[in-house]
A = this chain, B = another copy of it.
Amino acid sequence: MSRPMFEHAALVGIGLIGSSISHAMRRKGLAGTITGSARTKATVDTALKLGLIERGYASAAEAVKGADLVILSVPVGACRALAAEIAPHLRQGAIVTDVGSVKAAVVRDIAPHVPKGVHFVPGHPIAGTEQSGPEAGFAELFDNRWTILTPEPGTDKAAVEKLKAFWMALGAKVEIMTPEHHDMVLAVTSHLPHLIAYNIVNTAEHLERVTDSEVIKFSAGGFRDFTRIAASDPTMWRDVFLNNRDAVLEMLGRFSEDLTALQRAIRFGDGDTLFRLFTEARRVRRGIIEAGQDTAAPDFGRQHKADGDVPQPSGKSARK
């Protein structure tokens, strides 16, 4: 048997992402042993029971001892304290990475704590579901998705290359960019969509002339799609918005400006403008499907009965 890529991987945080990394590591035998720690004992126990880790600890400091790969999979607001806690216990030559949805703030919070001889390479897999916790993970989560790495200039090249190879072995494609550019790109492809989804759900909940029950019953008109995103982990998303404020506010400004233009077009009955903008939007969808970043199946391939016992109808995949 060939040697695994890492002798000992430590998972600090074992939620959706941490547990999916474990599944994907196991699939390819990327780590000799996997240890882990989590904020709650229940999570550690579940992770042990599911075989996500071989040894579990309440303390991150214990979990990382001797590891040549340390992956922080925690809300970005928790990174600073964890980095301080694990710093004295990191093995020389180890690679430390994270999976946070914000990168500049994470670099600011983690980098100062990383000892000389340890390689910090920040990362962010652009993948997830609306579910949380160690039972939500699965090995395929990163397949064909992008992971962005944002190493500072001067980071050990071999460490960056090794982490890149690791993510590719997990199934992902890898791109390298600056933390600042990452935060701008994700502000539009992830943070703004989540903010808007949270917002429309809250708007719908607080109407006087439409009941909550009506909102739920007739949600298949489009609203239900937004509720999936808005069911994502509140702690994670609070931290994202607190830590990527400037880029999110900039994108929000653009969004509101464009929405005002649409609002005017509706108010003044400008059908040509509406038609033109709606037609342009179709092109982006096609690009995403061609790039393999979403399914071409109508309605995301949703089962057309909520109880899921209806087979995919054959006519459903017919397309113009």
- Stretch from A30-38, A58-66, A154-162, A248-256 that touches the partner: A248-256
Contact with A274, one of B175, B189, B193, B237 (Cβ below 8 angstroms): B237
- Stretch from A5-13, A84-92, A115-123, A312-320 that touches the partner: A312-320
Chain B residues within 8 Å of A195, by CB: 259, 262, 266
Inter-chain CA distance A316–B24, complex, in Å, is 13
A320 lies within 8 A of B132 (CB): yes
* A57: interface (CB < 8 Å): no
A183 to chain B, nearest CB (A): 11
Query: Interface code A260-274, partner B: CB below 8 Å = 1, 0 otherwise?
Result: 001101110101001
Copies of this chain, complex-wide, total 2
A304 lies within 8 A of B140 (CB): yes
Known contacts A197-B222, A303-B295: A288-B216 contact under CB 8 Å: yes
Query: Interface code A163-200, partner B: CB below 8 Å = 1, 0 otherwise?
Result: 00000000000010000010011101111111111111
Residue of B whose beta carbon sits closest to that of A193: B222
Known contacts A255-B203, A304-B143: A193-B217 contact under CB 8 Å: no
Chain B residues within 8 Å of A242, by CB: 266, 269, 271, 274
Inter-chain CA distance A184–B127, complex, in Å, is 35
A139 lies within 8 A of B313 (CB): yes
Chain B residues within 8 Å of A300, by CB: 228, 299-302
Main secondary structure of the interface of A (DSSP, over half): helix
Inter-chain CA distance A305–B101, complex, in Å, is 22
Q: Which residues in window 197-246 of A have CB below 8 A to B?
A: 197-207, 209-210, 212, 214-232, 234-235, 237-239, 241-242, 245
* A3: interface (CB < 8 Å): no
Query: Interface code A270-297, partner B: CB below 8 Å = 1, 0 otherwise?
Result: 0100110111111011111101111111
Q: How many residues of A contact B (CB 8 A)?
A: 132
* A135: interface (CB < 8 Å): yes
A43 to chain B, nearest CB (A): 10
Inter-chain CA distance A235–B218, complex, in Å, is 22
Chain A interface residues toward B at CB < 8 A? 23, 101, 126-133, 135-141, 143-146, 148, 175, 181, 184-186, 188-207, 209-210, 212, 214-232, 234-235, 237-239, 241-242, 245, 248-249, 251-252, 254-256, 258-259, 262-263, 265-267, 269, 271, 274-275, 277-282, 284-289, 291-308, 310, 313, 315-316, 318-320
Supply 28 A–B pairs (Cβ within 8 Å), ascending by A: A138-B318, A141-B304, A143-B304, A143-B310, A148-B218, A181-B209, A185-B215, A189-B210, A189-B214, A189-B218, A190-B221, A193-B200, A199-B259, A201-B284, A216-B288, A220-B294, A224-B294, A234-B275, A238-B274, A241-B274, A249-B267, A252-B259, A256-B259, A293-B306, A294-B302, A295-B306, A295-B308, A297-B308
